Amino acid sequence: MRILVTGGAGFIGTATVRTLTAAGHDVVVLDSLRADVHGDRAAPDLPAGVPLVRADVRDAAAVRDALADADAVVHLAAKVGLGVGIDDIDDYVASNDLGTAVLLRAAAEQAPHVVYASSMVVYGEGAYRCAEHGGVHPPPRAEADLAAGVFDPRCPACGRVLVPGLVAEDAPLDPRNVYAATKAHGERLLAAWTRATGASATALRFHNVYGPGMPRDTPYAGVASIFRSEAEHGRAPRVFEDGGQRRDLVHVDDVAAAVRAAVERPQGAGRVEAFNVGSGTVSTIGEVARRVAELLGAPEPVVTGEWRAGDVRHVTASSERAGRVLGWRAAVGLDDGLAELVGGTDRVGRTGT
């Protein structure tokens, strides 16, 4: 199968390209190598023989040329990060919304299967239950609660603190920052495109991706990378709120395997199918900080109590549907993955697939 991977020179992209080529697919990478993502790194670590088209995904002519004879497109190219404020809202929208639109317009005629990198952030908060009112989708947390150290969302009907659970793909989308809004809009654009073209598409809602090659000391670094950077310098990792924020950290090789499964198993013409891509293991931010500090012999993490109004408290996934439909399940445990990330050990059997 001939596959175009946009953003294929990035963190998730290079792992995905390794996995697809190892499976025998013919891969072409399109990547702008923008400095705010790649820094001053040397040429990307792509498998031998994989062509790299250095172009922005908003360059319609370059995208059309790269798409030639493609059977599938893996669309990873995006401006990522927090997107909590509005100072760079125009860059997020131009990079992500317009970039996706240009790609889909170029792909309309040949209508390849599209695998779109979405995110857990499209949900806003995760799944919650109230003891009195059952399943509840909470509004944004009140700043007065955050300032008072009450970090868990409250039931909008009775004010009780809610109990978190696992979010499934049928949960309503409630993006709560600029980046999240662009990811949710990308799914909507994809739905319109599949209806118009009769093509198939899959949206993979990645949870907190980590692993070798992840960026550090940039706006795009994940929490594990930030903690690693602090611990490597002998500093105690700093943990916001009370450290109890629940997350699902999924290894980049497992994410790449999910992309391969989605590429090889289109789910039907004229529609988008969405799948959560998480490890299935719930961890707290405080636990991750402690594990990273221990692996690097750094001081115990400092729980600061700081908070950001745009952050969500708990968002962890049920990835059962991806297992049932795509035949994909995460294989890398968090302890092994974090040890590999910080350089303490090599994960046994790591092949990038």
Alpha-helix residue ranges (DSSP H) falling in 265-301 = 285-296
Distance CA 171, CA 317 (A): 11
116, 123, 179, 220: the active-site residue: 179
End-to-end CA distance of the chain: 17
Q: Which of 263, 245, 257, 219 is nearest to 312 (CA)?
A: 245
Specify whether 123 is catalytic: no
CA 156 to each of CA 130, 161, 171, 322, 325: distance values in angstroms, whole numbers, following the listed order:
10, 10, 17, 31, 35
The C-alpha atoms of residue 23 and residue 264 are separated, in whole angstroms, by 10
3-state secondary structure of 250: strand
Cα 229 to Cα 342: distance, rounded to the nearest angstrom: 9
Contacts for 340-344 with beta carbons within 8 Å, 24 or more apart? 340/211, 340/212, 341/210, 341/211, 341/212, 341/214, 341/224, 341/225, 341/228, 341/292, 342/228, 342/231, 342/232, 342/292, 342/295, 342/296, 344/295, 344/296
Instruction: Specify the amino acid at residue 301.
Output: P
Catalytic residues: 179
